[in-house]
Amino acid sequence: MRLMPEGTSSWVIGGNTNASGTATIRTDKYAGVPAGTFKVTVSKIYETPTQIQKPAETGTTFAEWEAWRAAMDAEKRPRYKHVKEEFENVDQTPLSITITKGKNKETFDLGEAVEILLD
């Protein structure tokens, strides 16, 4: 999730959601967000888990680590987008929020989940 300030600002503002969909938003340097009105963009990409087992943290040779990294780089895992495109684009998103001093809480409806293959 990213917040794009209306007007001029150099703040990078965003956060990640937890398993229940709750996001904690912060600037690039500080917890929280400055007061103001923001467009809200949301994206979620899911990459299927790897089937390649990671080497043990100890007792693995450099060559074994290199082989694992090469296998990970070569592995083609499907990636899926789970949010409609309109919510990902600052010019299209219908979502916005006005942040005031103190704690702010907002719920956004992103509609039905989607599963769009990216690769």
Q: Percentage of the chain with pLDDT > 90?
A: 35
What's the rounded mean pLDDT across residues 84-113?
89
Using alpha carbons, list the distances in angstroms from residue 26 to 44, 71, 102: 18, 35, 14
In 3D, which of 72, 4, 14 has the Cα closest to residue 39? 4
The CA distance from 55 to 100, in Å, is: 48
Residue 92: DSSP 8-state = T
Q: Given this model, what pLDDT does residue 24 score?
A: 82
Q: Which two tokens stand for residue 115?
A: 């599963």
What value does the mean pLDDT take over residues 59-83? 92
Residue spans of the domains in the chain: they are 2-117
66 pLDDT above the threshold of 90:
yes
Segment 79-88, tens digit of pLDDT:
998 889 999 9
Query: Looking at the predicted structure, is the pLDDT value of residue 36 above 90?
Result: no
Q: How far is CA 66 from the centre of its chain?
A: 29
The CA distance from 37 to 57, in Å, is 46
Contact 42, 95 (CB under 8 A): yes
